[in-house]
Structures are given as structure tokens and as C-alpha cells.
């Protein structure tokens, strides 16, 4: 097999009911030069057997003992063979044009290390079904880091060369693993989001991340990263207001949160 243009990575733990849906969305990409690298993080529910039953030579499964999400992501990036690495969470979906559009962007913008996209968001926690477009340019994304996570993790594609120079997911991070990784990339390289909806993200109470970490812990850590962003990216000092506001965000009524998100640079349309 020739070196694939894109390695799609999935790290999975006990998602036998949903992982096939995610894999199928990768195997129907318009870009054919891909590999699908799956790290099974010690599943005990038959997830590996579901994956092994899918007959496609582009799939590569690595089965491991329970190592945790951050370590699994790090391993996936180290094992990836593609020029670009594209993440997809095990319960989400990539739309058919995603890899072609993102690979084209990185081909045409060699000064950019990372590109994301818009998402269709199906959120059973908030009872929302929306399309969300994130800020597009490097400058907008740097500013947005002080406010919130400015991308969808199931819609990001980045250069394998980042891993080769030692920038990778940090296994010591307990959560917000991808945002910590993203900030280290933005500190050194340009990043962007595409304006198209190229991924579908499912937010569920039963997902590993949502069940393990309470909203208050997430927001405290987001506030910490927001403060860090203000200093790293030399944002105006008054931007420190945003990380502090993050601490009270959970107390805002759900009916007002959409307005708050829109006022802070996230474009959302209800489906």
C-alpha cells in the first residue's frame, strides 16, 4: 500500500453499538487514499469483534490494555502512516467530502498545521439539534481560545509532521486532552476552520467524556486554558474577562446560552 494521504484515527472504549457507524462514514469518503487506524482502549463489550467483522483492507486495528483516552490518541498519532491525521470520535460521523476538502486546504496552505470544520450537533443533554460554524481564521481562533474550544474534535485534520517534531497528545492530561494539544499547536503554527459542515457530533450523557467529568470541572479547566491563551497569544488584557465568565456559564439558563455563544463568535442554526 502506498503512503495514504490521510490516516483517520478512532480511539474506542466500549462502543460496540456505535463504532461501526463511525467507521462506515470513513470508508465512504470521497478521498480514497486513506487508512482507518483504530485503537481499542481495552474494551470489554465486544467492540473489537465488531471492528474485525468489517471487511476492508484500509482498516488497521490495534488492541491494547486499558490505557486511557490521552495515551490512546498519542499512540494513534505515532502509528499513523498518512501525510495528514484526521480524528473522529467513536460515536460521531464524518461526512463524505470531509477528508478531500481538508487535505486540499492543507495542500494549498503549507503555513497551516491544522484545519477543522463546522459540525452538525445532536445534543441530547441540551435537547438541541443545530449546525455550528466556528471562527475561520488563525487570528479569530486565537482570540476564541480565551472564550471556549473553537473547533469540533471530530472534525480536525492536522499534519503528521507535528508528531514527528514532538508535538502530540499528552497522556498525562486528565481531560480536555485535545484542547491542550491544540493550544500547543496554535502557539507555534497557523490553524483554521472550514466554513462547511463536515462532521456530525453526538453529545450524550452516556458517552465516556460526558459521564466521567462534571460540567463544573470542565469549565474550571477551560477557564485555566483561557487565561493561558490570553498570555500566550498576547491578547488584550480585558480578554481575561472571558475565562472568568466561563466559571458562571453553567448557571446561565439554557434558553440564554445560545445567545451567549452567538455573541462570542459561534454561528448556530437550529435544525
Q: What is the pLDDT of residues 82-109, one digit of tens each?
A: 999 999 999 999 999 999 999 999 999 9
- Classify 182 in phi/psi space as left (phi over 0), alpha (psi -120 to 50) or beta: alpha
| Cα end-to-end span (Å), the chain | 41
Q: What is the pLDDT of residues 190-238, one digit of tens each?
A: 999 999 999 999 885 555 444 444 667 788 889 999 999 999 999 999 9
Stretch 158-163: mean pLDDT: 98
- Cross-strand bridge partners of residue 132: 119, 268
Q: Which sign does the torsion angle of CA 229, 119, 78, 105 carry?
A: negative
Query: Is residue 1 domain-resident?
Result: no
Q: What is the pLDDT of residue 211?
A: 44
d(CA 105, CA 107): 5
Counting residues of the chain whose pLDDT is more than 70, the rounded percentage is 85
Q: Which residue has the cell 486513506?
A: 34
Strands (DSSP E) along the chain, which ranges?
6-12, 34-41, 59-64, 84-87, 93-94, 112-123, 128-133, 157-159, 190-203, 267-270
- Give Cβ neighbours of residue 268 (< 8 Å, ≥ 6 apart): 130, 131, 132, 133, 258, 261, 262
For residue 3, the SS3 value is: coil
Query: Is residue 144 domain-resident?
Result: yes
- Cross-strand bridge partners of residue 8: 36, 86
Q: Which three cell numbers stand for residue 239?
A: 480578554
Q: What is the pLDDT of residue 59?
A: 95
Domain that holds residue 212: 6-270
> What's the burial of 198, exposed, middle or buried (CB within 10 Å: 0-12/13-18/19+)?
buried
Q: Which residue has the cell 486499558?
A: 66
Q: What is the pLDDT of residue 208?
A: 45
Q: Which residue has the cell 487565561?
A: 227
Structural contact between residues 39 and 64, judged by C-beta atoms closer than 8 angstroms: yes
| Dihedrals phi, psi of 159, to nearest 5 degrees | -80, 135
**Mean pLDDT over the full length of the chain:** 89
Number of independent structural domains in the chain: 1
Q: What is the pLDDT of residue 253?
A: 59
What's the CA dihedral at 92, 93, 98, 103 to 10 degrees?
50
What's the CA dihedral at 235, 118, 111, 85 to 10 degrees?
120
Query: Is residue 258 domain-resident?
Result: yes
- For residue 130, the domain's CATH number is 3.90.550.10
Query: Is residue 22 domain-resident?
Result: yes
User: What is the DSSP pairing of strand 34-41 with strand 6-12?
Assistant: parallel
Give this prediction's pTM.
0.89
Q: 118-132, 156-170, 208-222 — which one is most confidently predicted on average? A: 156-170
d(CA 154, CA 136): 16
Q: What is the pLDDT of residues 16-72, one digit of tens each?
A: 989 999 999 999 999 999 999 999 999 999 999 999 999 999 999 999 889 999 999
Amino acid at each position: 500500500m502506498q503512503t495514504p494521504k490521510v490516516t483517520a484515527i478512532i480511539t474506542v472504549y466500549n462502543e460496540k453499538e456505535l463504532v461501526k457507524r463511525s467507521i462506515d462514514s470513513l470508508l465512504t469518503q470521497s478521498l480514497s487514499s486513506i487508512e482507518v487506524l483504530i485503537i481499542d482502549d481495552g474494551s470489554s463489550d465486544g467492540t473489537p469483534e465488531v471492528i474485525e467483522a468489517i471487511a476492508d483492507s484500509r482498516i488497521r486495528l490495534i488492541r491494547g490494555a486499558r490505557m486511557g483516552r490521552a495515551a490512546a490518541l498519542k499512540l494513534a498519532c505515532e502509528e499513523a502512516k498518512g501525510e495528514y491525521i484526521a480524528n473522529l470520535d467513536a460515536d460521531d460521523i464524518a461526512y463524505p467530502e470531509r477528508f478531500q476538502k481538508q487535505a486540499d486546504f492543507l495542500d494549498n496552505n503549507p503555513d497551516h498545521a491544522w484545519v477543522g470544520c463546522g459540525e452538525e450537533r445532536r445534543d441530547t443533554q441540551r435537547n438541541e439539534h443545530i449546525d455550528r460554524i466556528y471562527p475561520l481564521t488563525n487570528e479569530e481562533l486565537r482570540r476564541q481560545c480565551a472564550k471556549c474550544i473553537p473547533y469540533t474534535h471530530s472534525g480536525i485534520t492536522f499534519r503528521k509532521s507535528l508528531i514527528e517534531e514532538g508535538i502530540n497528545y499528552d497522556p498525562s492530561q486528565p481531560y480536555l486532552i485535545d484542547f491542550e494539544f491544540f493550544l500547543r499547536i496554535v502557539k507555534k503554527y497557523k490553524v483554521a476552520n472550514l466554513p462547511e459542515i463536515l462532521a456530525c457530533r453526538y453529545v450524550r450523557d452516556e458517552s465516556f467524556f460526558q459521564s466521567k467529568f462534571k460540567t463544573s470541572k470542565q469549565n474550571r479547566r477551560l477557564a485555566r486554558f483561557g487565561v493561558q491563551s490570553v498570555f500566550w497569544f498576547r491578547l488584550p488584557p480585558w480578554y481575561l474577562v472571558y475565562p472568568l465568565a466561563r466559571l458562571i456559564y453553567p448557571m446561565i439558563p439554557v434558553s440564554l446560552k445560545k445567545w451567549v455563544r452567538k455573541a462570542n463568535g459561534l454561528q448556530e442554526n437550529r435544525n
